[in-house]
Amino acid sequence: SNSSFGIHDLSFATTEYVLSHEALAAYNGTEIGKYHIGIGQRSMSVPAADEDIVTLGATAAAPIIARHGSDRIRTVVFATESSIDQAKSAGVYVHSLLGLSSACRVVELKQACYGATAALQFAIGLVRRDPDQQVLVIASDVSRYELDSPGEATQGAAAVAMLVAADPALVRIENPSGLFTADVMDFWRPNYLTTALVDGQESVQAYLQAVASSWKDYGEQGGRALEEFAAFCYHQPFTKMAYKAHHHLLHHTGHETDKAAIEKAIGQTVAYNATIGNSYTASVYLALAALLDQADDLTDQPIGFLSYGSGSVAEFFAGTVAPGYREHLRTEANLAAIARREPVDHARYRELHERSFPSDGGEHLTPRQTTGPFRLAGLSGHKRIYQTR
């Protein structure tokens, strides 16, 4: 058929607070060049005590519901690796906060940072089956490493919400996909820990192997040639990783690895992630948001996507940009979400880092800190209590 399926709308939210890498570097004695150039990060989003994956996810999705209504949304898929409950989907809280119809299926998906791409692909399967339906995909994560660990500089937090539909206004997702799964322990978080464990150097190597392997499968499945792509949106645990990944892909496939070509492919995808930090599942779609917001006209251009989730699963796929897409962008709101964050000093950041996970099951009222539309009011009787402003 002539039908296309993909991303009809995209909106993101990030946190109340932001910590600059200058502040982190001044505290731990790191040369700032390591952060600004070596890993390519300027600052990291820091959640307030009353923000979490639910409040961020709801904040990201609310403008989509405001624009399109929710009559056609019969499925919500919530992708995260910073889950707040082992049984109940975070998506059910968001469904409630947004006032969606009870005639809806809601589920949470997990495979580290790859989860949102699984959600997108499953959503496309659903709207192919019934093109009158739409699926709300939410990718929401808070990235936390131990204080004073090498991973600390790559923390961040954000949520991306996408409306997946037939005849999409933004990006038409193509077949085929290139797939790769390998059982590796590069990054993981056991149920009893609140911060991730990581073998930093191994995780970078595992990511690069996944890039080459998913690209190889993409080719074997009849995918496009590398030269056809206008840009590449990579998962960005830190923005330098996208440059490393693309360099590896070019080298691995026998292409020239000149700086200008890599900059052209990646340069417009990093602006949001460089200031937000790692948002795990949301990261690759923040790369897309930055590209669409900043690039000259991309109409009908193919974009490459490389989604990587440690542990590990990777997928390479392509999307072409829909004619008229610019009228549907949220560039101003995106810039405002970044600009509204209040800078915190290093001491305040450490306090927030240590305080944000009450784990005793007792009664907690969370201080009112966020100025966003939704907040976590507290915990009572082992239940999370959310509020709309």
What whole-number distance in Å separates Cα of residue 345 and Cα of residue 47? 14
Q: What is the DSSP string of 90-144?
A: HHHHHHHHTT--SS-EEEEE-BTBTHHHHHHHHHHHHHHH-TT-EEEEEEEEEE-
Catalytic one of 16, 81, 108, 152: 81
Beta bridge pairs of residue 43: 20
Name the amino acid, one letter, at 68: H
What whole-number distance in Å separates Cα of residue 336 and Cα of residue 93? 25
80 makes contact with ligand CAA (CB under 6 A): no
Q: How far is CA 136 from the centre of its chain?
A: 15
Beta bridge pairs of residue 318: 304
344 makes contact with ligand CAA (CB under 6 A): no
281 makes contact with ligand CAA (CB under 6 A): no
153 makes contact with ligand CAA (CB under 6 A): yes
Q: Write the interaction track for ligand CAA spanning residues 172-191; mark x where CB under 6 A is met and - where it is not.
A: --------------xx----
Residue showing the smallest CB distance to ligand CAA in the complex: 38
Least Å distance, CB 95 to ligand CAA, is 27
Contact pick of 37, 193, 336, 347 for ligand CAA (by CB under 6 A):
37
Q: What is the DSSP string of 324-366?
A: TGGGG--HHHHHHHHHTPEE--HHHHHHHHHHS---S---EEP
Give the end-to-end CA distance of the chain in Å, rounded to a whole number: 45
Indicate if 113 belongs to the active site.
Answer: yes
Considering only residues 112 to 131 of the shown chain, the ones binding ligand CAA according to CB under 6 A are 113
Nearer to ligand CAA, 38 or 219 (CB): 38
The pair phi, psi for residue 134, each rounded to 5°, is: -125, 155
61 makes contact with ligand CAA (CB under 6 A): no
Least Å distance, CB 143 to ligand CAA, is 7
What whole-number distance in Å separates Cα of residue 71 and Cα of residue 81? 29
Q: Quick one: which segment of 28-36, 131-139, 226-234, 250-258 binds ligand CAA (CB under 6 A)?
A: 28-36
Catalytic one of 8, 21, 95, 235: 235
What whole-number distance in Å separates Cα of residue 215 and Cα of residue 221? 10
379 makes contact with ligand CAA (CB under 6 A): no
343 makes contact with ligand CAA (CB under 6 A): no
Q: Quick one: which segment of 197-205, 224-232, 354-362, 364-372 binds ligand CAA (CB under 6 A)?
A: 197-205
Catalytic one of 113, 152, 315, 353: 113
What whole-number distance in Å separates Cα of residue 144 and Cα of residue 354? 10
Indicate if 81 belongs to the active site.
Answer: yes
Contact pick of 4, 22, 27, 39 for ligand CAA (by CB under 6 A):
39
275 makes contact with ligand CAA (CB under 6 A): no
What whole-number distance in Å separates Cα of residue 87 and Cα of residue 301? 41
Name every residue whose Cβ is closer than 8 Å to that of residue 201 and which is 6 or more positions away in sequence. none
Least Å distance, CB 289 to ligand CAA, is 17
Number of residues forming the site for ligand CAA (CB under 6 A)? 27
Catalytic residues: 81, 113, 235
Residues that bind ligand CAA (CB under 6 A): 31, 33-34, 37-39, 113, 150-151, 153-154, 186-187, 198, 200-201, 203-204, 207, 235, 237-238, 241, 278, 280, 308, 310
